[in-house]
Structure 1
């Protein structure tokens, strides 16, 4: 049973995790009543959570029928990779223009990013997709919070969730993912901590290229 204090947010996170785990596959239809019964709650917070996920691009609203898990295409994925590349390029240009005026990152936040980086890297190296997704999303959310304003961070987080939603079905078809997943989290965190804009930009560019190449290879698209 989900606690009633934060039902809307908890249901949204739980359903998002189901999508990212592949347990709610693309194209899957469901109703508010179905989800409410699944969680043992009333329809109102469920409807609110589903509308939130629809606003994030993960669900589609089907008039008078319910909701459907959005089905992203390889063209969508390529566009998302391009979008996050362009956004980060703009962020780094801004950081470079400020030069010495850029404040050193908060040590507490950097320590948290390091922990996320280590956990994500271990999961990526081991090919543990379930563990990787959770830590990877937290890592990028915190890292983006260091180098970008909150609006940019929110936008990048949304793109990253959508990218995972598209990639997960193809990744899960692989029997062995160890060695295939990007594992440069600590190296990138160190570059950001040093305020090395050039290296950080190169690492993110390599990460985006790796993501696109891997998904294209596994999907055959």
Structure 2
């Protein structure tokens, strides 16, 4: 009995995560736009599952700041403002600078070669997608790149917080970027240069690249100043 019960909990937990991931991807792709309302029943019917894992997944996304609960009505995709975006860019900068100050150089020296190779590979893929103007592919590799990069300090709280902020900044930016007829050459593509600077323990260059990235982000979506 106990073993069967544990198995059921694991399956439900896995389903909950799969639904949360799928909905997050829909939001990031802009297919669930800001302000879009929906109910647990609608999502459960869409994925052909029971209401319980759907409700749990939606509450997880609420905790991540991606959805809002509407009393007695369901859920709605959270709408971020330009002021929110500027604050998020500032917050992610402070987190990254904190990583640098907290001994990133020593952490990089202690990082296994395989991890550094993986970070560099993610950087190359993200840069390739950015140069091509492929927004959907870029978002996926960009999030993985920063998740692996923040992981060098071996602090799950830092990695999770940075990942959450980066998802939120993409949520705000994507609808604005979709208005462009062609994104080729418009998206920031300094991932490989940043990875190289960090692998070479050149934190000064890394910080300069981050500053350039932030200026580019704010200018690209028209929220500077």
TM-score (norm 2): 0.90
Offset of 1:101 from its aligned partner?
A: 8.0
Whether 2:101 is the aligned partner of 1:93: answer yes
- Alpha-carbon distance in 1 for matches of 2:201, 2:14: 38
Q: Work out the CA distance in 2 between the residues paired with 1:142 and 1:101.
A: 13
Pair 1:21 & 2:24 matched: no
Confirm or deny that 1:63 pairs with 2:63.
Answer: no
Alpha carbons 1:36, 1:42 under 8 Å: kept: yes
CA distance in 2 between counterparts of 1:73 and 1:152 reads 24
| 1:203 matches 2:209 | yes
Runs of 4+ with >4 A deviation: 99-102
Structure 1 residue 208 displacement after superposition: 1.4
Cα distance between partner residues in 2 of 1:148 and 1:72: 30
Structure 1 pair 70–101 and aligned structure 2 pair: CA distance change class (3 A): closer
Name the residue aligned to 1:184. Answer: 190
Distance 1:5 1:83 in 2: 31
Does residue 37 (structure 1) correspond to residue 30 (structure 2)? The answer is: no
Partner of 1:124: 130
What does the per-residue CA deviation read over 1:169-204, in whole Å, with 9 as the maximum and x for residues that have no partner?
000010110111000111111111122211111111
Is the partner of 1:103 in helix, strand or coil? helix
Gaps (5+ residues) in structure 2? Answer: 1-10
8 Å contact kept, 1:18–1:24 = yes
C-alpha spacing 1:148/1:34, structure 2 compared with 1 (3 Å): same
Counterpart in the other structure of 1:134:
140
Aligned residues: 215
SS of the residue aligned with 1:182?
Answer: coil
Deviation digits for residues 123-161 of structure 1 (CA, Å, limit 9, x no counterpart): 100000111111111111101112462211111100000
TM-score of the aligned structures, taking structure 1 as reference length: 0.91
State the Cα deviation string for residues 76-123 of structure 1 (Å, max 9, x = none): 000000111122222212227xx6686332211111111111111111
Report which stretch shifted further, 145-154 or 184-193. Answer: 145-154
Secondary structure of 2:181 counterpart: coil
Which of 149, 155, 167 is the aligned partner of 1:149?
155
Alpha carbons 2:198, 2:206 under 8 Å: kept: yes
Gaps of 5+ in 1: none
